[in-house]
């Protein structure tokens, strides 16, 4: 039996992406690909000091143009500086594209075409090039030219209208869920484009937006709203719109979340809570019954949950009912499951020493993710330009006139 000489190699080894990325969503997408072996070349503007993320506080070194925020979102990326406003910069881009598989941007929707970062501008240099754009609102429509950030998209997409307490204001999720979901969706889109290019030899444009990603996440709430006389609302204790009980409850010393997504979980819950009479109560017999009598049922359950500590309830419920403590971020990172899944990793950094980061969420049998720190601004420019035939003297001239 023959042995595959590439067994254990990073699955995306040999894939090069020129990434014109900034701040959160796009760099997050590129980190996923870099962890899995892609050669992510982050292209930054030398006249601006590169990605603004390099200067985001706290825990940053402005003189070095680096910080923990930047490292968290750009792991594994090499850095090339290139001024696309200069004719020589645009000519170098064409030459770089000839040696790349994809160009990825997360600029405003109107900018890729203006900057020559779409297939129309780059396809002649490499007919197989895949050009993926992640923007706030997409490359078409009345808001294509507007910047889009996670907070803005959570408002536009209705997320804030269903987050928070009923008597409180609309609330943003504490994590940048739209940024990260949009980043993952764009990474998937890029992989689809690369697969098609390898199968057909033809590159393409891919247009992904945070707005579209957020709307797609409305999913069943959108379908219910579009097809019935129904509107989602903010519910107490972060409750599910229709499944009862599925929410947080206060315990003697904290909070616990239970989720009865199946009838069997409801049956087990009343047993574990020693509330067998509720299981026999016709008001609570089915999903529909419990929804109709939500307020009465939740009040009864809340009184019971307050009788014991979170740890005591976890000991009773784990393995029988979907249940979780409401962790702090520190507690979540210290959980045994996070350790078992190798989701906290160590990355050696020349400035910050050993940086502990969140690991790659994609696990592949026989393959270990590749963890490397994000590169200093422009540190790989010389080596990358040498690959396309730029001589040392020309490189120095280009640097002197601000092209790189």
Is residue 54 domain-shared with residue 193, that is, in the same domain?
A: yes
Is residue 151 domain-shared with residue 63, that is, in the same domain?
A: yes
Question: Rounded mean pLDDT of 317-337?
Answer: 96
pLDDT digits (tens, 9 = 90+) for 96-148: 999 999 999 999 989 999 999 999 999 999 999 999 999 999 999 999 999 99
- For residue 11, is it within any domain? no
Question: Rounded mean pLDDT of 342-354?
Answer: 93
Query: In this predicted structure, what is the pLDDT of residue 152?
Result: 96
Average pLDDT, the chain: 94
Query: In this predicted structure, what is the pLDDT of residue 9?
Result: 84
The CATH number of residue 348's host domain is: 3.40.50.10540
Tell me the C-alpha distance between 178 and 188, whole Å. Answer: 15
Count of Cβ atoms closer than 10 Å to residue 280 Cβ: 9
Buried b (16+ CB within 10 A) or exposed e, 306-343: eebebeebbebbeeebebebbeeeeeeeeeeeeeeeeb
Q: What percent of the chain has pLDDT over 90?
A: 91
Instruction: Give residues with Cβ within 8 angstroms of 403, minimum separation 6.
Output: 46, 82, 83, 86, 88, 89, 92
Query: In this predicted structure, what is the pLDDT of residue 3?
Result: 39
CA dihedral 55, 56, 61, 66 (to 10 degrees): -70
Query: In this predicted structure, what is the pLDDT of residue 47?
Result: 87
Is residue 25 domain-shared with residue 158, that is, in the same domain?
A: yes
Tell me the C-alpha distance between 303 and 28, whole Å. Answer: 43
Residue 35: active-site member: no
Tell me how far CA of residue 350 lies from CA of 61, 69, 92, in angstroms.
13, 16, 30
For the cut 50, the answer to whether the pLDDT of residue 291 exceeds it is yes
Is residue 191 domain-shared with residue 44, that is, in the same domain?
A: yes
Cα four-point dihedral sign 70, 71, 75, 77: positive
Is residue 164 domain-shared with residue 311, that is, in the same domain?
A: no
pLDDT digits (tens, 9 = 90+) for 191-246: 999 999 999 999 999 999 999 999 999 999 999 999 999 999 999 999 999 999 99
- Kindly name the residue from 45, 150, 179, 205 that is annotated as catalytic: 179
Q: Is the peptide bond between 58 and the residue preceding it cis, with omega within 30 degrees of 0? A: yes
Last residue of a domain, one of 298, 325, 352: 325
- For residue 2, is it within any domain? no
Query: In this predicted structure, what is the pLDDT of residue 5?
Result: 45
Query: In this predicted structure, what is the pLDDT of residue 63?
Result: 82
- For residue 162, is it within any domain? yes
Tell me how far CA of residue 53 lies from CA of 38, 215, 310, 319, 379, in angstroms.
21, 26, 39, 42, 17
Is residue 165 domain-shared with residue 286, that is, in the same domain?
A: no
For the cut 60, the answer to whether the pLDDT of residue 2 exceeds it is no
pLDDT tier at 93 (50, 70, 90 boundaries)? very high
- For residue 389, is it within any domain? yes
pLDDT digits (tens, 9 = 90+) for 34-86: 999 999 999 999 988 889 999 998 998 888 889 999 999 999 999 999 999 99
Is residue 124 domain-shared with residue 266, that is, in the same domain?
A: no
Is residue 304 domain-shared with residue 167, that is, in the same domain?
A: no
- For residue 374, is it within any domain? yes
pLDDT tier at 7 (50, 70, 90 boundaries)? low
Count of Cβ atoms closer than 10 Å to residue 304 Cβ: 15
- For residue 76, is it within any domain? yes
- For residue 241, is it within any domain? no
The CATH number of residue 276's host domain is: 3.30.1540.10
- Residue 100's SS3 state is coil
Q: Are residues 210 and 182 in contact, defined by beta-carbon separation less than 8 angstroms?
A: yes
DSSP state of 19: E
- Owning domain of residue 263: 255-325
Last residue of a domain, one of 325, 358, 379: 325
Domain count, the chain: 2
For the cut 90, the answer to whether the pLDDT of residue 273 exceeds it is yes
Question: Rounded mean pLDDT of 252-258?
Answer: 97
Q: What is the pTM of this model?
A: 0.91
């Amino acid at each position: 039996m023959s042995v595959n000489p590439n067994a254990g190699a990073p699955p995306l080894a040999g894939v090069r992406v020129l990434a014109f990325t900034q701040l959160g969503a796009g760099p997050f997408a590129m980190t996923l690909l870099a962890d899995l072996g892609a050669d992510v070349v982050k292209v930054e503007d030398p006249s601006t000091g590169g990605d603004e993320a390099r200067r985001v506080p706290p825990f940053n070194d402005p003189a070095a143009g680096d910080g923990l925020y930047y490292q968290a979102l750009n792991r594994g990326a090499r850095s090339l500086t290139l001024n696309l406003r200069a004719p020589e910069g645009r000519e170098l881009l064409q030459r770089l594209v000839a040696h790349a598989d994809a160009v990825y941007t997360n600029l405003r929707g109107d900018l890729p075409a203006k900057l020559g970062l779409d297939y129309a501008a780059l396809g002649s240099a490499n007919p197989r090039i895949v050009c993926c754009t992640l923007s706030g609102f997409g490359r078409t429509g009345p808001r294509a030219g507007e910047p889009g950030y996670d907070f803005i998209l959570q408002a536009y997409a209705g997320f804030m209208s269903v987050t928070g307490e009923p008597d409180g204001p609309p609330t943003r999720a504490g994590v940048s869920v739209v940024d990260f979901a949009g980043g993952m969706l764009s990474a998937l889109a890029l992989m689809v484009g690369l697969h098609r290019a390898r199968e057909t030899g033809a590159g393409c444009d891919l247009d992904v937006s945070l707005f579209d990603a957020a709307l797609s996440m409305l999913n069943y709430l959108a379908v219910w709203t579009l097809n019935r006389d129904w509107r989602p609302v903010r519910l107490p204790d972060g409750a599910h719109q229709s499944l009862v009980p599925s929410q947080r409850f206060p315990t003697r010393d904290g909070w616990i979340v239970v989720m009865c997504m199946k009838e069997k979980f409801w049956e087990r819950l009343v047993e574990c809570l020693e509330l067998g009479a509720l299981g026999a109560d016709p008001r609570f017999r089915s999903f529909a019954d419990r929804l109709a009598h939500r307020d009465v049922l939740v009040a009864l359950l809340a009184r019971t949950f307050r009788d014991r500590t979170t740890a005591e309830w976890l000991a009773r419920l784990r393995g029988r009912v979907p249940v979780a403590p409401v962790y702090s971020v520190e507690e979540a990172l210290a959980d045994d499951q996070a350790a078992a899944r190798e989701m906290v990793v160590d990355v050696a950094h020349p400035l910050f020493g050993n940086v502990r980061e969140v690991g790659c969420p994609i696990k592949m049998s026989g393959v270990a993710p590749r963890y490397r720190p994000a590169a200093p601004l422009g540190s790989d420019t010389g080596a990358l330009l040498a690959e396309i035939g730029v001589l040392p003297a020309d490189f120095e001239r280009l640097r002197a006139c601000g092209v790189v």
